[in-house]
A and B are shown apart, each in its own frame.
Chain A
Amino acid sequence: MSPRVHHPALSEEIARTSVLLVCGSGGVGKTSVAAAIAVEEALRGRRVCVLTVDPARRLAQAMGLTRLDDRERAVALPDRPAAGGTLTALMLDPKRAFDRLVEETAPDEEQRERILGNRIYRNLSENAAGVQEYMALERLFELDRSDRYDLLVVDTPPAAHARDLLEGPERMLTFLQGRSLRWFLRPGARMGRFGLKAVGGSGGPIVSLLQRVTGAELLRDTTEFFENMEGMYELFADRLAVVQRLFSDERTGFLVVTSPERESVDQAVAFEQLLAARDYRSIGTVVNRVEPALAGGTASTKALRDLPGVEPALAGRLREAQQDHYELAQRDAARVAELSETAGTLTVSIPRLSHVVSDIAGLRDLSAHLYVSSETPSD
């Protein structure tokens, strides 16, 4: 990557974005970054809605979200916003969202009840890969279509891997499609045109083997589940296709958040590459909790000993603290440089704050770092 690429400031990028997906692996401060941007943009006069799945409780309280109730709720801003600015937050409950989707899309009451009561479904909507992501996107699509907001900020679900946001929903769909299982297990298929193939061909023995491994009850529930999902899969797939078109829209931007930790940085780089491969617009990478570099080099032991009232032992400990801090700052600076080079995107660092971000004032400290006007790659 060319080190001399000019990147516009993050604030400019955000200003021309109307759907912002804040991505990253778990525990890097994604929720805080998403919330900080939402507050700042609302203050600048936009109608903002922040969509979150599992925010830290205190942060949720700070934003006035006390319940996970899947509703849009107005958030009080710390200052008077520019004309028209509003902030709304929505805490998504994936399980409820899935139930609602089934209620809306099931062709009749009977099928709806069968799905909602199925043991496989009840477990799936909480545990299966990609369900949270799919539901977040589903909701995003709805909000975007409503035209009530200038900016939608999505705090993507907590996941082991950043790429789950893009791949999770596809995995969920592939699974729901249940192609091979449905083919052999449908009672109709066994008696119908493909009957011979299922019973006499390769399917029959496999099913009976499967039954010996799993037991009849579990197999029956699974079969029933896929039968009931018949016809609904296509609907889900259509909706996902629409959301994926939204991903490649030029008013959609991805912001990758990472910590300076090795694994997190590696994931951020891999995710940026994934975005580039899919031709999605990345607006930058935020490295959160960076140990700030020492201003003006290191102090010598002598200089520290010369301080009034500083015993040699204390000077020694000051030196140690300085040395440890220096190592950490060096490591973090190297990671930030590595990111901006390999990811090829605008990289913004946020120093480790000495306090926990737990209210709107804390969020504004974060946005002060995010909205620095002169950010360009550090080389």
Chain B
Amino acid sequence: MFALMPADLHDPATLPLGLPPRTVFVTGKGGVGKSTVAAALALAYRDAGVRTLLVQIAGQEPASRLLAPRTTVGYDAVTLAPRLSALTIDAEGALREYARLRLKVRAVADRLVGNPIFHQFADAAPGFRELLIMGKLWSLSNEEGSRRRRKYETIVVDAPATGHGTALLGMAGTVARMFPVGPIANEARQVDEFVRDPERVGVVLVSLPEELPVTEAIELHGRLAEHGVSVSATVLNGLVPQRFDAGEIAHLSGLIEPDALEPPVRACLQVAAREHARALQQTEERERLEQVTGPVYTLPLMYRAQLTRADVQQLAALLHPVEQRDLRESLA
């Protein structure tokens, strides 16, 4: 007879990206499919039996829409499915919550937050808004649910795509160094320790298998390292399938030459050749990225105008560790 496994324990080998439950930041430049990866990752954790919260930051297309197109997700958590909730953090809400926390009296705090002086200050003070968003994430990660368990075991954050991509993760350290004393400094130090603790925080880097995005991902990887933040996993999104081998392409290209081909057949062979060239190029880019990040997870290019929940589910399955996937496939 064996004891019940505590609900908070999971075998990493069975978890998405091999990453134990924690706060996971999904980062990357704009246009690389960050929100899709965040939504798929949240779904993957949920499917693995982990109590999961998907967090999106206001001002960008909400990732939750991929999972529940008709649900509006605000500052308070909304349940999307069993073990899966979502919420949207906006700077205004985080400001209010922080002021209430510090000033204790709700009415007094609301008076401050309602005053334009406070907003002006929040605009001017370096990293103030980012810091409060991070503070909110920190407190979410410690929130207690029923039976003294953590309310959320994993929090997947669809981090905003900023110019440098490090604003959210690196800001606390910068602020702590700039203003070493005072309440903001304490908050900043606490957040900075949190962000740099690989036991509590994971960072997932998302990129596309193209030259510029890969270069930018490598730069982002370096900048995060400068802030003492290490990348836990890298996801390369939008890979075209490698359907043909070099021999086949050589043979097909030989067929294109003579003029006897009907136009549709000719066009089809050209498509194959182009796709093959693109697949080769993306292999090169993948290798270049892997030299810096180690092995990457890959997601296929989805030939769709609009992703459905079923598509995201399919992507979620691909985020499981490779060994686990092989096992499942061999069982199937």
Q: Report whether A217 and B264 are in contact in the complex, using a CB–CB cutoff of 8 Å.
A: no
Using a CB-CB cutoff of 8 Å, which residues 189-220 of chain B contact chain A?
210-213, 215
Are the C-beta atoms of A322 and B271 separated by less than 8 Å? yes
- B30 near A160: Cβ-Cβ < 8 Å: yes
How many residues of B are counted as interface, with CB atoms below 8 angstroms from the partner's CB atoms? 69
Residue A214 CB within 8 A of the other chain: yes
What is the CA–CA distance of A58 and B288 in the complex, to the nearest angstrom?
A: 15
Return the contact of A213 from the options B102, B162, B163, B212 (Cβ within 8 A): B102
Q: Which residues of A contact B267 (CB under 8 A)?
A: 294-296, 299
Contacting pair A123 B127 (CB below 8 A): yes
Answer yes or no: A354 CB below 8 A from chain B CBs.
yes
B208-236 with Cβ < 8 A to chain A: 210-213, 215
- A27 to B29, Cβ gap below 8 A? yes
- Tell me if A84 is interfacial: C-beta within 8 Å of chain B: no
Q: Knowing A181-B120, A210-B117, say if A327 contacts B161 (CB, 8 Å).
A: no
B98 at the binding interface (Cβ < 8 Å): yes
Interface string of A232-245 (1 = CB under 8 A from B): 00000000000000
Binds A, one of B15-23, B81-89, B133-141, B299-307: B299-307
Judge if B274 is at the interface, Cβ distance under 8 Å: yes
Most buried by A among B99, B251, B255, B272: B272
**Residue among B31, B32, B117 with max Cβ neighbours from chain A (10 Å):** B117
| A146 CB, nearest partner CB in chain B, Å | 29
Nearest neighbor of A175 in chain B, beta-carbon distance: B123
Of A184, A213, A225, the residue contacting B124 (CB under 8 A) is A225
Interface residues on A, range: 35 or more
Question: Per-residue 0/1 for A115-126: is the Cβ within 8 Å of any B Cβ (1 yes, 0 no)?
Answer: 000011001100
Query: Which of the residues A26, A184, A328 comes within 8 Å of B31, measured between beta carbons?
Result: A26
Q: Which of A206, A262, A328 contacts B112 (CB 8 A)?
A: A206
- By a CB distance below 8 angstroms, the chain B residues around A299 are 262, 264-265, 267-268
Within 8 A of A (CB), among B91-106: 98-99, 102-103
Out of B103, B120, B124, B281, name the residue touching A209 (CB < 8 Å): B103
Interface locus among A69-77, A278-286, A301-309? A301-309
Residue in B61, B102, B212 whose beta carbon sits within 8 Å of that of A56 in the complex: B212
**8 Å CB interface, A308-366 against B:** 308-310, 314, 317-322, 324-325, 327-328, 331, 334, 354, 356, 358
Inter-chain contact A354/B178, CB cutoff 8 Å: no
C-alpha spacing A259/B208, complex, angstroms: 14
CA distance A219 to B98 in the complex (A): 17
For the complex, what is the distance from the CA of A223 to the CA of B195, rounded to whole Å? 30
B162: chain A residues within 8 A (beta carbon): 160
Does B108 sit at the interface, judged by CB under 8 A?
Answer: yes
Which positions 56-77 of chain B face chain A at CB distance < 8 Å?
A: 59-61
Tell whether B6 is near chain A: CB-to-CB under 8 Å: no
- Say whether B145 faces chain A, with CB atoms less than 8 Å apart: no
**Once the chains are docked, how many angstroms separate the CA of A160 from the CA of B213?**
15
- Knowing A26-B29, A57-B215, A317-B243, say if A215 contacts B185 (CB, 8 Å): yes
The answer for the CA separation of A310 and B271 in the assembled complex, in Å, is: 16
A-B contacts counted at CB < 8 A amount to 188
Q: Whose C-beta in chain A lies nearest to the C-beta of B122?
A: A214
CB atoms of A321 and B184 under 8 A apart: no
CA distance A160 to B252 in the complex (A): 42
Complex Cα–Cα for A178 and B122 (A): 11
Q: Are A218 and B262 in contact (CB under 8 A)?
A: no
Contact yes or no, B268 A158, CB < 8 A: no
Residues of A with C-beta under 8 A to B160: 160
| Interchain CA distance A158-B269 in the complex, whole Å | 38
Give min CB distance, B194 to chain A, whole Å.
20
A154 at the interface (CB under 8 A from B): no
B248 at the interface (CB under 8 A from A): yes
Least Cβ–Cβ distance between B188 and chain A, in angstroms = 10
Bound-state CA distance A356–B128 (Å) is 39
| Separation of A38 and B174 alpha carbons in the complex (Å) | 39
Cα–Cα, bound, A320→B116 (Å): 59
Which of A119, A294, A354 is B277 in contact with, Cβ under 8 Å? A354
Q: Is the CB of A213 within 8 A of B30?
A: no
Give the chain A neighbours of B244 by CB distance below 8 A. Answer: 314, 317, 321
Report the 8 A-B pairs with minimum CB-CB distance, sorted nearest first: A215-B182, A296-B263, A123-B126, A27-B31, A299-B264, A181-B120, A180-B116, A299-B268
Q: Can you list 8 A-B pairs, Cβ within 8 angstroms, ordered by A? A: A25-B31, A27-B29, A180-B115, A209-B108, A212-B183, A226-B124, A259-B31, A262-B305
* Chain A residues within CB distance 8 Å of chain B: 25-28, 54, 56-58, 119-120, 123-124, 127-128, 132, 158-160, 175, 178-181, 184, 202-203, 206-207, 209-210, 212-219, 221-222, 225-226, 259, 261-264, 294-300, 303-304, 307-310, 314, 317-322, 324-325, 327-328, 331, 334, 354, 356, 358
Q: A299-B262, A303-B262, A325-B271 are in contact. List 20 more A-B contacts (CB 8 A).
A: A27-B29, A27-B32, A120-B125, A124-B126, A207-B117, A214-B183, A215-B185, A217-B179, A225-B124, A264-B31, A296-B264, A296-B266, A299-B265, A304-B265, A310-B251, A318-B252, A320-B243, A321-B244, A328-B303, A331-B304
